[in-house]
Amino acid sequence: MPDGPDASFTARFARRLDEVTGALENLARVLDHEEDLDTILDRLCRQAVHAVPGADMASVTLLSDAGPRTAATTVARAGEIDEAQYRAGEGPCLEAARSGQVERVSVAEARSRWPGFAAAVAGVAGYLSAPLFVDEECHGSLNLYGTRHHGFRELDAALLELYTTAAEAALRNARRFFESRRRAEQLREALASRAVIEQAKGIIMGARRVSADEAFALLVARSQRDNVKVRDLAQRFVTEVTAAEARDGGKGW
């Protein structure tokens, strides 16, 4: 096994890569059980702090037509740093979100590049923001803030970029899965609604000797009069008729 600086760097890199892998595995477990986006982004922040040891706090900035907002933080202080950038209209989180490039900036560089923002923030020694793009509704940046004097190193930036790239893919797949499941549930409910409405129409047609259109018109009129959805009215009607038939051979409507 090689000795010296190269060996030390290799060991450190391997250890940090393991931390990124562990963070992604933990995030994947959350995606298996959680659908709420803000909850998922909250876990994304917390795992990023573990993945990049130089980070003391993290946040997620999301962009929309209404302006930027902080969707998740590990501590309230991270959200305050985000807000200072939003008020100034400049800063690493906005730059990363808009440019699609990782921003690794020391406090001195921040003062030079974004004086309006940097003047409002104290106690931060380094900024590291990576673009985060899942889809048109979820895009912005994952932001890390450090208080240690050395700030963030190139290795930290590489690890964060690796983490966000993998996290984007996982989030994208999860969002597609949840959307497909939601649509399947909506279709199932629509089919169930149609089935019970058709059943109610059939009962009315037989009892009133009317056409399918006339039976449906009767259902609609009754739903408007009772201020009940047609599907709910049909379900209630079918249940009542079925119960009546079981009890005494049926009754009219």
| Total domain count, the chain | 2
Q: Show the DSSP H helices in the chain as ranges.
A: 5-33, 37-51, 76-88, 92-99, 107-113, 115-118, 154-208, 212-226, 230-248
DSSP state for residue 116 in the 8-state scheme:
H
Residue 41: pLDDT band with limits 50, 70, 90? confident
Residue 74 has pLDDT above 90, yes or no: yes
**pLDDT tens digits, one per residue of 8-37:** 545 555 566 555 555 555 555 555 555 577
Q: What CATH number has the domain bearing residue 148?
A: 3.30.450.40
Boundary residue ending a domain (143, 159, 181): 181
The CA distance from 229 to 222, in Å, is 10
21 and 85, same domain (yes or no): yes
**pLDDT tens digits, one per residue of 123-149:** 899 999 999 988 777 789 999 999 987
124 and 92, same domain (yes or no): yes
Task: State which of 5-19, 126-140, 160-174, 219-233 shows the largest mean pLDDT.
Answer: 126-140
Sequence-distant (≥ 6) Cβ neighbours of residue 177 within 8 angstroms: none
pLDDT at 192: 67
pLDDT at 88: 95
Question: Region 80-86: what's the mean pLDDT?
Answer: 96
Neighbours of 204 (CB within 10 A): 24
